[in-house]
Structure 1
Amino acid sequence: MSLTKLSVSYKCVNSIGNSLNLEEMMEEFLRTFIKETGAISGSFFVNRSLDLCEEVASLGKKNLFNIESIKKRLEDETLILEEVDENIKLLAYKVKKGCLIFLYSCENDFDFITSILESLKNKIEINIDSCLNVENLKEQIEEATKENLEKERQLFEQLKMSQMGELIGNIAHQWRQPLNIISTATSGMQIKKELDILTDEDFKEYTKSILENSSYLSGTIDEFRDYIKDSNKEKEIIVQDRLKMATEMLRSSFSLESINIIEEFVEEEKLHFKLVLGDLLQVLITIFNNAKEALVEKDDLEYKWIKYSLRKTDYTIKITIEDNAGGVNEKIKDKIFNPYFTTKHQARGTGIGLYSAYGIIVNKLDGKLYVKNTEFGAKFYIELPLNVNYII
């Protein structure tokens, strides 16, 4: 092999396989091969299927050759060398899964050029295969990711529907007392009116009671509406209001299980935060319910409680929710935020609740969500960054 051929081969070999992106890899090779062999232009076409031949990379002067005709001829030949006009020749060279097409001046040494291509063929084909395999792998990953995202979306919807069902039952329980009060006040007014003993003071007391309890009923409807409202728009909320809303919506169902919700500490200064409506409420309800389920299983525990707190630190809004259910097994503590991980019986748990909560706090709100064991049980920490959305 001559020194010239050796030098050209060396440079061209080194230009192959430096990228796993097919277009980038072939552009680098074409650029080097065109420069070293004096080509006017060069193109690479890949056979995506039996019917589809796609141009991946092209450098230099464009020529209106018929690629379908060339592809057809290369089914029976490895090399095509023909005149385009009296000054230019076309060289088409078949490689596995594609072909290379170059234009040269007629005076070029085509034996030299084809011998260089022959020496490079194996490496070109191996690297084309590698690039196409990477493309296929990326497509499979993208498809699998889409499928997983759709599954997660469906599971999140199931989680929310499950929580909504529980909340509807809880609201129905909450409504019993105010409805009884309204009914009693209304019938009391009616009886006193019929007996002609309804005083102005009685009327004021009855109407006040009716209005207060009607307002309470309206408030629970607003709370539930805010929770189920499907909106991707951000809204500034007061964190104390969200925390109060969560505890009020859950208190009745918790009391049925003899679980006490205790306010340990709540910052007096109103803490504002901007987020998608319902996100924080969903997280709080998930964590409270998680604590409730742990406590329900503790039949031997006489006094069951869940304590919550809300504090402002130098850099965060910190919410804690602690129970006295004994804590999380240290062997699984690092897994509880993983998708589909659940300590419950398969029929009762999807393992998506805490995973969803983690995604909202960490990925959407740029905060932190973690759990620690205390002497009493598990303590969840929610930290929201003041420097991102907090309004001073």
Structure 2
Amino acid sequence: MRLYLKFSTKTKTMILVIVLFILTCIVFSFLRQIDIRNLISLSKEEFKGEIANIYTTTLKRTKEFYTSRAKANLESDNIKNYIKNQDIEKIKILTQARFKVLKEENPYLLNMKFFNNQGQLLTFLGIKNRSLNPKNAKNEYFFLDKDILTYHILTPFYEKNKLLGWIEFCLAAEYFLKEIQDFSELKGNIVFNKEYQDGNLITKGSQTFILHSFTLFDVDDKQAKMIFYQDITEQEDIIKKSFIEALILSLFLILIILLILHYGFKVLIKRLEISENSLRHLNANLEQKIQIELQKRREQERILMHQSRLASMGEMIGNIAHQWRQPLTELSAIITHLGLMMELKRLDCENFKKQEKSAENLISYMSKTIDDFRNFFKPNTEKIVFSIEKTLDKTLKLLESSFKEHSINVKKDFKEEIEFYGFQNQFSQAILNILCNAKDVLIERKIKNPCIKISLTRENQNIFIKIKDNGGGITISPVEKIFEPYISTKHANMGTGIGLYMSKVIIEKNFKGNLYAENKDNGAEFTINLILTSSPKMQMKA
């Protein structure tokens, strides 16, 4: 069993407004969350940038300080010569006091090493640890040995551009943690685990931290990072609080809107219902008027079609008169001949039979002429498969005598025989109207050597019938106006102005084709374009 829920206009309006409001609140909350998160993200970037700046400054300051200490040591007490001569005892004795002072200044200083120009360790002060060969190392580098990370500063010294050796200071990496902590009050660690990634969130109890990491050493599978924890508990609380505030505000506003909709929209809904009923009534009247107008248009088209057929029939009566003129003359001559032979008593049976046969042939020809014209005007409501070429020939034959009387030369150019499925007589009517229009123009304008060319071609599925005359072209502008009803370029007593209109209606409405005209080579050219969507037999089956 199906349950159908019918809502009133008021309920629909309330639901729509509430849904729109909820969507607006969601979008607003979402945008606010984005703004807050962007601010927090900016704070995180600034925090990380501050740490990076302290770290970079500390590196630079430490390198400069111990490089200057190395150079000062070389310049005093002839240390350079002792290193050159590899006098280890003298080096240690003279450097011991200076190293002790440096160690007191910086407890993170681990040792001070002296190397010869081959990179071999001569002696050291402080604790012993591993380091890189100076020949293969940079002037400053981090070195990881058994989870102990150290920072090394190498200072080369020369004599007459010749390398004599190096002095190296080695500091524990924790020195940088202390420096950053002194400046930013942040505590950090040095870790050797790749799982600590920059930007990771870590929750501890009710607090939330974001991880900022700086890679100090990364060779092969060994990695050392300096990490700092930024407490973002307050920022996360702000995000949660903003969400709760938005939710409470939305619920409060929804309640107010419900009250407004319930009490304030009654009048509006009532007016809407009245307007809806009024519009429904107007739509019904409008639909009725449209149907009446359509009926009038159909009736007008039927009248125009009837007028067009009457005009064509008048044209055809004139053509019948031309067709019958010569047979009637010959029939009159036969009757006169028979009367004369009878008066002279020279009419025998054989001669009578001969004249009778001639008269019968003439009467049969005249009867056939009537049948041709009657078949042309016979209304057909069913589509048939017909030959376009043969239909064009039959239509031309109806006007043959009129063309001959006015010395109009007709040139045909039919490339191939094409079959089409449609209303054959309507197609003939459309062709006849165009031909009659061309003939009347040639006669009215008294064109020398009048000529009408008609061609039939096919390009893939497109069929083109072109009818062209040399009557000087269409004088109406724009040319398309020639197809409007009661528009004619001929004299008032030569046309009604509906022939070309009905031809366009037939071709475009009943044949789903196109009929257009253009001025070309001192004449008018009418083109009919039909689409052969499938074979005529397949069209007939469909």
CA distance in 2, matches of 1:347, 1:360: 25
Q: Structure 1 pair 231/132, CA: closer, same or farther in 2 (3 Å)?
A: same
CA distance in 2, matches of 1:387, 1:7: 52
Conservation of the 8 A alpha-carbon contact between 2:475 and 2:489: no
SS at match of 1:376: coil
Q: Structure 1 pair 266/219, CA: closer, same or farther in 2 (3 Å)?
A: farther
Superposed displacement of residue 158, structure 1? 1.3
Q: Structure 1 pair 311/184, CA: closer, same or farther in 2 (3 Å)?
A: farther
Following superposition of structure 1 onto structure 2, how do residues 250-289 of structure 1 map, counting pairs within 5 Å?
Answer: 250-256=399-405, 258-267=406-415, 269-289=416-436
SS at match of 1:278: helix
SS at match of 1:125: helix
Q: Structure 1 pair 177/313, CA: closer, same or farther in 2 (3 Å)?
A: farther
* Structure 1 letter corresponding to 2:376: Y
Superposed displacement of residue 13, structure 1? 7.2
CA distance in 1, matches of 2:359, 2:18: 86
SS at match of 2:471: coil
CA distance in 2, matches of 1:191, 1:389: 62
Following superposition of structure 1 onto structure 2, how do residues 52-67 of structure 1 map, counting pairs within 5 Å?
Answer: none
- Of 481, 484, 498, 1:338 maps to 484
Number of the residue aligned with 1:144: 293
Number of the residue aligned with 2:176: none
Q: Structure 1 pair 291/259, CA: closer, same or farther in 2 (3 Å)?
A: farther
Q: Structure 1 pair 368/328, CA: closer, same or farther in 2 (3 Å)?
A: same
Following superposition of structure 1 onto structure 2, how do residues 317-328 of structure 1 map, counting pairs within 5 Å?
Answer: 317-328=463-474
Q: Structure 1 pair 342/186, CA: closer, same or farther in 2 (3 Å)?
A: closer
- Alignment RMSD (CA, Å): 3.6
* Structure 2 letter corresponding to 1:229: K
* Structure 1 letter corresponding to 2:513: G
SS at match of 1:341: coil
Determine which structure has the larger helix proportion and give its number. 2
% identity of equivalent residues: 31
Q: Structure 1 pair 314/305, CA: closer, same or farther in 2 (3 Å)?
A: same
Following superposition of structure 1 onto structure 2, how do residues 1-392 of structure 1 map, counting pairs within 5 Å?
Answer: 10-11=14-15, 117-184=266-333, 195=346, 213-256=362-405, 258-267=406-415, 269-299=416-446, 301-329=447-475, 331-344=477-490, 349-388=495-534, 390=536
CA distance in 1, matches of 2:464, 2:357: 38
SS at match of 1:156: helix
Conservation of the 8 A alpha-carbon contact between 1:291 and 1:323: yes
CA distance in 1, matches of 2:413, 2:361: 27
Conservation of the 8 A alpha-carbon contact between 2:452 and 2:467: yes
1:330-371 Cα shifts (integer Å, max 9, x gaps) = 722122223343334566544321111111111111222121
Superposed displacement of residue 122, structure 1? 1.6
Superposed displacement of residue 211, structure 1? 6.0
CA distance in 1, matches of 2:467, 2:530: 14
Residue segments in structure 1 that go unaligned for 5+ positions in a row: 1-5, 16-111
Number of the residue aligned with 1:79: none
Superposed displacement of residue 138, structure 1? 2.4
Please tell me whether Structure 1 or Structure 2 has the larger radius of gyration of its CA atoms: 2
CA distance in 1, matches of 2:396, 2:347: 44
- Paired residue total: 286
1:307-331 Cα shifts (integer Å, max 9, x gaps) = 2223344324432211111112372
CA distance in 1, matches of 2:491, 2:334: 47
Per the normalisation by structure 1, the TM-score is 0.62
Q: Structure 1 pair 182/348, CA: closer, same or farther in 2 (3 Å)?
A: closer
CA distance in 1, matches of 2:419, 2:305: 26
SS at match of 1:336: helix
* Structure 2 letter corresponding to 1:266: F
CA distance in 2, matches of 1:363, 1:214: 40
CA distance in 1, matches of 2:434, 2:386: 20
Conservation of the 8 A alpha-carbon contact between 1:170 and 1:249: yes
Q: Structure 1 pair 295/196, CA: closer, same or farther in 2 (3 Å)?
A: closer
* Structure 2 letter corresponding to 1:290: N
CA distance in 1, matches of 2:335, 2:417: 38
Superposed displacement of residue 282, structure 1? 0.8
Superposed displacement of residue 132, structure 1? 2.6
CA distance in 2, matches of 1:233, 1:198: 51
Q: Structure 1 pair 219/309, CA: closer, same or farther in 2 (3 Å)?
A: farther
1:218-241 Cα shifts (integer Å, max 9, x gaps) = 332221111221231223333233
The answer to which structure, 1 or 2, has the higher relative contact order (CA under 8 A, 6+ apart) is 1
Q: Structure 1 pair 14/209, CA: closer, same or farther in 2 (3 Å)?
A: farther
- Return 123-132 or 316-325, whichever deviates more: 123-132
CA distance in 2, matches of 1:323, 1:344: 15
Conservation of the 8 A alpha-carbon contact between 1:341 and 1:351: yes
CA distance in 2, matches of 1:248, 1:143: 42
CA distance in 2, matches of 1:383, 1:298: 28
* Structure 1 letter corresponding to 2:478: I
Q: Structure 1 pair 239/216, CA: closer, same or farther in 2 (3 Å)?
A: farther
Superposed displacement of residue 188, structure 1? 5.7
1:36-95 Cα shifts (integer Å, max 9, x gaps) = xxxxxxxxxxxxxxxxxxxxxxxxxxxxxxxxxxxxxxxxxxxxxxxxxxxxxxxxxxxx
Q: Structure 1 pair 209/247, CA: closer, same or farther in 2 (3 Å)?
A: farther
CA distance in 2, matches of 1:243, 1:13: 67
Per the normalisation by structure 2, the TM-score is 0.46
CA distance in 1, matches of 2:459, 2:450: 29
* Structure 1 letter corresponding to 2:282: N
CA distance in 2, matches of 1:343, 1:135: 43
SS at match of 2:399: helix
Residue segments in structure 2 that go unaligned for 5+ positions in a row: 1-9, 20-260
Q: Structure 1 pair 137/168, CA: closer, same or farther in 2 (3 Å)?
A: same
